[in-house]
Structure 1
Amino acid sequence: MPLTMAFGRSCLQWTVIVFNTLSLIIGILSVVACIYELEKFTEGSAEHREKLVQLASVSLLVLSSFVGCLGAINGSVRILCCYVTMLIAMIASHIWKLYRYNETKQMAATEKMLTAAWMSELVKKGAMDPIQETYECCGVSSSLDYVNLNVKIPLTCYRSQSGLRSIYPYGEGCLVALKRAYMNIYRYERLGHSLLIGFEGIGILISLLLICKLLTKSRRYSY
């Protein structure tokens, strides 16, 4: 018995609907994550442009979820074909992103961003505060960066709890802390793209099964 005959039409339709509901949730969470990460990169930089491409890809995932549900509910072959095309385009964008992954380049971009923040700190105090407070670090290499320049160590270099600050500043420099944090995010993103390729591939498969089922039914009625 052909695989398309093993599932009823209504079963396949509901499978596509449930799949796209899950896609919608994943897409919305991914859009929020991309918008959050965009703020970490300088506008116009290569990393910023890549994040915009990634944002466009996950936005397409959200849009495709509605298209997939619409095609499944109406039993429309044309809409489902459009949906499959969108999934193929997203898989292509994931492959493009994986091809461009370069950890050395990411580390260099992180170092460049921190250097810019440090230079701004030397001109006007406070530029390093968000980084030091978020990643619990101090200076570029350590708190000695401030000491060697005869600059007062900022309060964000000290751990704070219940309104009380520790006596000693953070022992870790922001370069090490930032590289570690960004690299973890970078590797999780790479894994996420790989998983989405498989996830969207499943979406293509069940959509094609439903399309075959709908076409078989229309041929049956044409006789």
Structure 2
Amino acid sequence: MASARVCLQWTLILFNTFSVIIGILAIVAGVYELEKFTDGSAEHTEKIVQLAAASVLVISAFIGCCGAVNGSIKILCLFIVILVGLIASHIWKLWRYDEGKQLTATEMLVTYTWIAELVKPGAMIEMQATYECCGKKSYVDYTSLGLELPRSCFRVQNGMRAVYPFGEGCMSAVKKAYLTIYRYERLAHWSLIGFEVLGILLSIILICKLTAKTRRYRY
């Protein structure tokens, strides 16, 4: 029985080590994506919530480790409560999942960037280079206005620029890229729910083992 309890304690410590890694990766991803959205927008608020949930996950990992190492039932109960709260945040995010809304936000981003390009050339450079696209709908957006195609519209390899520009417009390329990321995020939320449920089950089993140990000592 003692060996089983120790095994559970180390399993929970390992679980929380993974939680720290996942939480830190989620924070990095959230900070990177936060810059893509306008302050005060619904998408910006959701990313703030994501960052908060990731931070709580990291904090909960330390609490879980503390509870496992010390064999404290109270700390493990607190750990379970935090995990339940995190699961609720994932469910909230999945409930708000809306691909149409995401595509609309992406369209606005590309449109504003293109308008900025027309006002001050250079605004599209990063987007075009990152997503290998040219113009809003195609490179014709430049040529139809008598504008020279920027270097970011061409694939560059070993310092040599390709002869032909990217055939896809940024509206199409960025929408596809963002939608793929959005779908991966949905999968990540479902995976985290399963991961956190596992943490709750491990904690409950460990609490039962610790409770049984206390009862034996009383007898």
TM-score normalised by L of structure 1:
0.95
Question: Within 5 Å, which residues of 2 pair with 1:1-223?
Answer: 8-223=4-219
For residue 126 of structure 1, report the CA deviation from its aligned partner.
0.7
State how far apart, in whole Å, the 2-side matches of 1:145 and 1:8 are: 68
Unaligned runs of 5+ in 1: none
Unaligned runs of 5+ in 2: none
Which secondary structure does the structure 1 equivalent of 2:164 belong to? strand
- What is the letter of the counterpart of residue 168 of structure 2? E
Which secondary structure does the structure 1 equivalent of 2:114 belong to? helix
State how far apart, in whole Å, the 2-side matches of 1:192 and 1:72 are: 26
State how far apart, in whole Å, the 2-side matches of 1:22 and 1:121 are: 43
- What is the letter of the counterpart of residue 82 of structure 2? M
Runs of 4+ in 1 over 3 A off after TM superposition: none
State how far apart, in whole Å, the 1-side matches of 2:174 and 2:79 are: 39
- What is the letter of the counterpart of residue 171 of structure 1? G
Which secondary structure does the structure 1 equivalent of 2:162 belong to? strand
Q: Percent sequence identity over matched residues?
A: 61
For residue 6 of structure 1, report the CA deviation from its aligned partner.
10
For residue 222 of structure 1, report the CA deviation from its aligned partner.
2.4
Which secondary structure does the structure 1 equivalent of 2:47 belong to? helix
Which secondary structure does the structure 2 equivalent of 1:150 belong to? coil
Which secondary structure does the structure 1 equivalent of 2:156 belong to? strand
TM-score normalised by L of structure 2:
0.97
- How many aligned residue pairs are there? 219
Which secondary structure does the structure 2 equivalent of 1:142 belong to? coil
For residue 153 of structure 1, report the CA deviation from its aligned partner.
1.2
By relative contact order (CA 8 Å, sep 6+), the higher-ranking structure is 1
Q: CA RMSD in A?
A: 1.2
State how far apart, in whole Å, the 1-side matches of 2:63 and 2:2 are: 25
For residue 100 of structure 1, report the CA deviation from its aligned partner.
0.3
For residue 7 of structure 1, report the CA deviation from its aligned partner.
7.2
For residue 165 of structure 1, report the CA deviation from its aligned partner.
0.6
- What is the letter of the counterpart of residue 149 of structure 2? I
